[in-house]
Structure 1
């Protein structure tokens, strides 16, 4: 009887409200319990009541969600999750099946207990919340804290508010289909070294988190290390398609790392990190044309490796490849006259130059240096649909999905297209997609005369086969390309950025229009002696002003 009285007394306890927020009271079964303010028991049972009026579409709620609907729905979900009542939590979401699987695994597979969820102030339909939990595995425990967020939406069928389900609600590093697992890691850790033997860490080089994950995934089992106990994100099918690597979130006991040596230069990597930190949404890659060694790679944003895995229209930097095609086919020559009208129409599309400029009586070199779009579009009638694709594959080693650099990378894409899209591809629009690694390799191929697949880990480490190109540019085409890029660096759109970069140099700028963006993505690719680099600044504007200074600063550091 006394026990029942105490239980009843606990239930009568009023919720603590601090600064308008619901306070979290820890207790019961290892889970924190919400002191609910308003809403009563119905606020967290995850069920929906029905009435006769539900049969009439006119009674289905619609329009923006009220603040109360957002707060109550979030509280319903978070309270049930915190209490370990998975069916109730899942019922409050837009995908009960997926939510059930992941929330069940949160306790069973990730071994998380004592979960406390603290909501923050909603912003519209979005509710941020803080997570505190304990990872407990075979007698070893460690605290885990992180921030996440959920979004409340209306159910399309009945109009009731619900949590829009994505795996990222459970943890922001999760993509849909991923899982959380704690246990002995299947992959031992690795100690990654730069070319001078120094250890690579994210504390030194913030951009390299995804690179370190990729190195571990590829070399962990062969580098001689021993696995530790970790809480990890195990990637599902959709994440693997984007070549995302598994990720360690918390280390309960250290494994013994194996050692993997990379080609990265500590001085150049540090400089690259400093440069991208100055420009939002910037990425850069620096490599050695004579060998293919990657010397530096950095991104202003650290969640996704744009430098290696980005898939963006390269804009006019693509004209390096297109020019080799036109010269090979006798459709252009550096010092011969070449048309550069204000407009050029092909496949029903009307193309124009930046600011609608034209060059009367100019040479192809003048058109290349000033980045004349119509000089390339005008040649489309004399090209076959697959000419540019073949040139990219056979001369530059691109678009064949066979690079093996040591970590996940995207090898560029130059699909066969027709009509206006084929013409647009010549100027780096249409379906063409590249990243800074690809475009650094393009400049490296011009500088050295031969495609050498870029790599971050020497192929001698694991005897892997590097990609090759099936043919070289002719000596005539190569010499003309070097002339075009050198002239552009000295007198063309790249001249301002390349000022002060001495020696054997060449460059090309690019601006890629993207639907929905006010400013284009700015691109820049260049070489100086035995260094080649490329960069992109998304939504930055013209490449010469944005990516150009980043690339030029790295080239100045040595040849």
Structure 2
């Protein structure tokens, strides 16, 4: 072998010796990633230029790779490795460890579906096992891949719903003897209420179990369930949710106020529309006769927190009449525009009513007729009226399951003006607005309830005062005229003469169409509904409410 050949052979087989240290030459050329010398060593500076941070949209390959690494490690039962592929390692590791140790879920098979952008859906098939009892578990979930800002690395964005779609922040999956026995919920006629028969009642039945399971005399079973995070002091905790029952408990029995015929109609009506919710109550007692949501997860009808739009004008009108700032038959300004607190307000389609009455402004839902009176009100007037007369905003309703009591915060300047027409900081749901129109009908607030207080001795909320006879009479006249000849007339056709209604449309940032609201009474029935992004309330929520009132007449 020649000198050149021997030198080449030596280059392939002998390690390089530098300053008495050995660095092994690796395949592909170059030295290993470890520095041979410190920054002050004899070898001088060996610091490489930092790699540029990758930015921009994620490629399909990056999304697939990150998703595959995460799902593979999770399926293998390696929570730490799976968590390392997320943007919140501690939270992901805790949840995935709990999935195996607390939820007792094994034999996990995760199958990714077709990627959409940076989101990858996947199916879960597994087994839940506890004390010799096993049941299969199957559900679908999804994950989203994001790019970490500091180094551009693609990671799974950690959210609790990745583990299970019913999980929210602070929730846990647990398998064991349930702390709460099951309940057999009955309607007002004694028939059994089930989510299979009435899909909207899933969350309601969960709430009834949480509240009355131990009081109703049942015995707990063994199950996999979602344990909700602890509630704030004084607030109702969202009910735990059973996912798999390994052994059935013995249910207790709880009777509700729900009317089976009205509940069936409510289910049918909301099913025709996307994001619709409705409630029916009995004004003379406060009994809840029906509740339904077209989405069967979150109970918007009881727990929603939405701007109620012009249905809020029922409360505002009672305030203006009480203060002598408006009267049904008296002249009242309704200009195209009014400015208050630096904001310029206008009516829908910029209409105006010249020399019209307050009744005419209410019936056509004239915004400026209400906002023009803002300068004559104190900042807390509207909030006090909502609390003292309509029983809202004090967090003290106890209907039998979790609910939101509405919110009318103290505001000033432009925010006060917006609140007068149901925007700004005002928040309501169909239960609140059904109660509002019921109070206008009877003159006295009766807290709505789903389970009679006699069942558990709880105290229902009360308002500190009723509507004065004069204000009640005028408010009823405003609502009757709106149902007969105003914006609610088409929906309420044929339901008179003992009726009243108010429409509403609430603008939502980033939403093309407003939320459509409608609330009305017919005899001893009061109902309210909202169709989110539905447009005008008379066209969207109006037919839902009117159908319920017809069914109950």
TM-score (norm 1): 0.89
1:97-176 maps to which residues of 2 (within 5 A)?
Answer: 97-176=90-169
How far is the alpha carbon of 1:120 from its aligned partner?
A: 1.0
How far is the alpha carbon of 1:87 from its aligned partner?
A: 1.2
1:340 corresponding residue in structure 2:
334
1:24-423 maps to which residues of 2 (within 5 A)?
Answer: 56=50, 59-237=52-230, 243-423=237-417
Would the alpha carbon gap of residues 343 and 119 (structure 1) be closer, same or farther in structure 2, given more than 3 Å must change?
Answer: same
Per-residue CA shift, 1:96-119, capped at 9, x if unaligned? 111111111111111111111111
How far is the alpha carbon of 1:502 from its aligned partner?
A: 2.8
SS at match of 2:345: strand
2:41 corresponding residue in structure 1:
none
How far is the alpha carbon of 1:244 from its aligned partner?
A: 2.5
Q: Distance in 2 between matches of 1:417 and 1:88?
A: 51
How far is the alpha carbon of 1:239 from its aligned partner?
A: 10
Q: Which has the larger radius of gyration?
A: 2
Asked if the contact 1:54/1:60 (under 8 Å) is kept, the reply is: no
Q: Distance in 1 between matches of 2:237 and 2:345?
A: 36
Asked if the contact 2:225/2:243 (under 8 Å) is kept, the reply is: yes
Q: Distance in 2 between matches of 1:312 and 1:380?
A: 22
Would the alpha carbon gap of residues 239 and 211 (structure 1) be closer, same or farther in structure 2, given more than 3 Å must change?
Answer: farther
Please list every run of 5 or more consecutive structure 1 residues that lacks an aligned counterpart in the other structure.
1-48
SS at match of 2:477: helix
Q: Distance in 2 between matches of 1:184 and 1:309?
A: 29
1:438 corresponding residue in structure 2:
432
Q: CA RMSD in A?
A: 1.6
Asked if the contact 2:282/2:289 (under 8 Å) is kept, the reply is: yes
Q: Distance in 2 between matches of 1:53 and 1:523?
A: 66
Q: Distance in 1 between matches of 2:158 and 2:48?
A: 24
1:469 corresponding residue in structure 2:
463
Aligned length: 510
How far is the alpha carbon of 1:178 from its aligned partner?
A: 1.1
Q: Distance in 2 between matches of 1:557 and 1:238?
A: 38
How far is the alpha carbon of 1:245 from its aligned partner?
A: 1.6
SS at match of 1:481: helix
Q: Distance in 2 between matches of 1:65 and 1:206?
A: 39
1:8-23 maps to which residues of 2 (within 5 A)?
Answer: none
Asked if the contact 1:53/1:59 (under 8 Å) is kept, the reply is: no
TM-score (norm 2): 0.90
How far is the alpha carbon of 1:242 from its aligned partner?
A: 8.5
Asked if the contact 2:181/2:220 (under 8 Å) is kept, the reply is: yes
Q: Distance in 2 between matches of 1:450 and 1:517?
A: 36
The reply to whether residue 553 of structure 1 matches residue 513 of structure 2 is no
2:8 corresponding residue in structure 1:
none
Asked if the contact 2:236/2:402 (under 8 Å) is kept, the reply is: no
2:526 corresponding residue in structure 1:
532
2:505 corresponding residue in structure 1:
511
Q: Distance in 2 between matches of 1:493 and 1:263?
A: 32
How far is the alpha carbon of 1:308 from its aligned partner?
A: 0.3
SS at match of 1:446: helix
Q: Distance in 1 between matches of 2:55 and 2:34?
A: 16
SS at match of 2:539: coil
Per-residue CA shift, 1:500-539, capped at 9, x if unaligned? 1134100000000111111000000100010000000000
Per-residue CA shift, 1:232-277, capped at 9, x if unaligned? 0011258997942210000010000000000000000000000001
Per-residue CA shift, 1:382-423, capped at 9, x if unaligned? 100000000000000001110000000000000000000001
Q: Distance in 1 between matches of 2:254 and 2:87?
A: 44
Q: Distance in 2 between matches of 1:380 and 1:85?
A: 62
How far is the alpha carbon of 1:50 from its aligned partner?
A: 11
After TM superposition, where is structure 1 displaced by more than 4 Å over at least 4 residues in a row?
49-55, 237-243
Q: Distance in 1 between matches of 2:55 and 2:172?
A: 34
1:448-459 maps to which residues of 2 (within 5 A)?
Answer: 448-459=442-453
Would the alpha carbon gap of residues 239 and 467 (structure 1) be closer, same or farther in structure 2, given more than 3 Å must change?
Answer: closer
SS at match of 1:70: helix
Asked if the contact 1:125/1:151 (under 8 Å) is kept, the reply is: yes
Q: Distance in 2 between matches of 1:239 and 1:300?
A: 28
